[in-house]
């Protein structure tokens, strides 16, 4: 199916279809210079498929992991485009997970003040969240995503066949974002995640993308509503940086302490079904410190997202001490 993200002149199609990478040459405009950014963990054949369909392809393979999302690699990507004579009419294609999409998108946003960008996410996590919405960034000075830009892709190709080769924990990590979408805005989707076998991953992924589409269309630059997509992330990012666990696993834990007791009981069931953690053994003070580094405060308070009942949520302003108490509940 094709889902259109309606953002005026920045509108684009998200194509969700098994095997759609193979159709990339007819779905994307690759009749120009194309910088394909991927990482060592992504099956080489995906980048090769894009390369074969391009007029002039250049492939940049980054080391796997969040550590590559830095200024040094960004500079390498920009220099490569400069050396190869890329102009404003050329483009960047990200083929991989969230790290690749974030840095490749930021390279596209900054090269010659912005060139076309296509995203081909190949992990469930990036298919469910970061590949749409236009957030691009690198990490800097120990802070995640601190240098970045809103730069919408020209199209997103979600080939759900690619998740077949992912390790189980990577699927679980992506399921966390799908469960999140259900918790904040789609009770029926949340119900699917509570009832194994009631829906396929493709169906749940598409529904969670519909949640993200609605949110991004009404608040592209996170002035308000888009903050709800950060449910579980305020504390989750702290857990992620202290424990090094996968993003979705940390977000899963972050969600467990930001909802009512009733919602929490149901959330724990959904997390267990998805193979996600429901408790963690780590230094809670370190998580608190990491969360404070990550989150910008406004008038001494931090915006967080609270769920009373799956399918609805509210943005609440909490004092750091209130979040500390929540972290202690982990
Ligand atoms: N990942 C949250 C957002 O795209 O706003």
Q: Please give, one letter per residue, the 3-state secondary structure of the chain.
A: CEEEECCHHHCEEEEECCCHHHHHHHHCCCCCEEEEEEECCCCHHHHHHHHHCCCEEEEEEECCCHHHCCHHHHHHHHHHHHHCCCCCCCEEEEEECHHHHHHHHHHHHHHHHCCEEEEEECCHHHHHHHCCCCEEEEEECCEEEEEEEECCCCEEEECHHHHHHCCHHHHHHHHHHHHHHHHHHCHHHHHHHHCCCCCCHHHHHHHHHHHHHHHHHHCCCCCCHHHHHHCCHHHHHHHHHHHCCCHHHHHHHHHHCCECHHHHHHHHHHHHHHCCCCCCCCCHHHHHHHHHHHCCCECCEEEEEEECCCCCCEEEEECHHHHHHHHHCC
Is 167-327 a domain of CATH 1.20.1090.10?
A: yes
* Cα 108 from Cα 153, distance rounded (Å): 9
Is residue 120 within 8 A of residue 95, CB to CB? The reply is: yes
Taking CA atoms only, the protein residue closest to ligand 1 atom 2 is: 229
Residue in 201, 252, 253 with CA at minimum distance from that of residue 193? 201
- Tens of pLDDT along the chain (330 residues)? 999 999 999 999 999 999 999 999 999 999 999 999 999 999 999 999 999 999 999 999 999 999 999 999 999 999 999 999 999 999 999 999 999 999 999 999 999 999 999 999 999 999 999 999 999 999 998 888 999 999 999 999 999 999 999 999 999 999 999 999 999 999 999 999 999 999 999 999 999 999 999 999 999 999 999 999 999 999 999 999 899 999 999 999 999 999 999 999 999 999 999 999 999 999 999 999 999 887 778 889 999 999 999 999 999 999 999 999 999 999
pTM of the model: 0.96
Ligand 1 contacts CB of residue 295 (under 6 A): no
Ligand 1 contacts CB of residue 129 (under 6 A): yes
165 CA to middle of ligand 1, Å? 25
268 CA to middle of ligand 1, Å? 23
228 CA to middle of ligand 1, Å? 9
Ligand 1 contacts CB of residue 220 (under 6 A): no
Domain boundaries, the chain: 2-164, 167-327
Ligand 1 contacts CB of residue 135 (under 6 A): yes
Ligand 1 contacts CB of residue 41 (under 6 A): no
Name, in order, each residue with C-beta under 8 angstroms of 214's C-beta and a sequence gap of 6 or more. 185
Q: CATH number for the 2-164 domain, one of 3.40.50.150, 3.40.50.300, 3.40.50.360, 3.40.50.1970? A: 3.40.50.1970
For residue 132, the ligand 1 atom closest to its alpha carbon is 4
177 CA to middle of ligand 1, Å? 10
6 CA to middle of ligand 1, Å? 16
């Amino acid at each position: 199916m094709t889902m259109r993200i309606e953002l005026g002149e920045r509108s684009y199609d998200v194509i969700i279809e098994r095997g759609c990478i193979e159709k990339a040459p007819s779905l994307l405009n690759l009749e120009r210079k194309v910088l394909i950014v991927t990482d060592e963990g992504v099956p080489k054949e995906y980048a090769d498929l894009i390369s074969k369909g391009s007029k002039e392809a250049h492939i940049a393979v980054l080391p796997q992991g969040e550590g590559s999302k830095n200024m040094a690699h960004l500079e390498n990507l920009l220099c490569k485009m400069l050396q190869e004579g890329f102009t404003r009419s050329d483009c960047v294609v990200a083929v991989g997970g969230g790290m690749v999409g974030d840095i490749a998108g930021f390279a596209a946003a900054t090269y010659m003040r912005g060139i076309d960008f296509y995203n081909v996410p190949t992990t469930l996590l990036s298919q469910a969240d970061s590949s749409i919405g236009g957030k691009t960034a690198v990490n800097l000075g120990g802070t995640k995503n601190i240098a970045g830009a809103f730069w919408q892709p020209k199209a997103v190709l979600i080939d759900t066949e690619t998740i077949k080769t992912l390790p189980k924990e990577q699927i679980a990590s992506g399921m966390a974002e799908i469960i999140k979408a259900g918790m904040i805005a789609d009770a029926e989707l949340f119900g699917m995640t509570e009832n194994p076998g009631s829906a396929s991953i493709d169906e749940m992924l598409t529904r969670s993308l519909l949640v993200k589409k609605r949110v991004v269309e009404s608040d592209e630059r996170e002035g308000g509503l888009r903050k709800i997509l950060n449910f579980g992330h305020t504390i989750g990012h702290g857990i992620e940086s202290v424990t090094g666990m996968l993003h979705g696993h940390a977000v899963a834990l972050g969600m467990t302490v930001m909802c009512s007791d009733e919602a929490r009981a149901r959330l724990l069931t959904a997390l267990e079904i998805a193979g996600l953690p429901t408790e963690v053994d780590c230094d809670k003070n370190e998580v608190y410190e990491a969360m404070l580094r990550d989150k910008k405060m406004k008038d001494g308070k931090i915006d967080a997202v609270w769920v009373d009942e799956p399918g609805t949520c509210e943005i609440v302003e909490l004092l750091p001490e209130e979040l500390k108490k929540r972290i202690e509940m982990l």
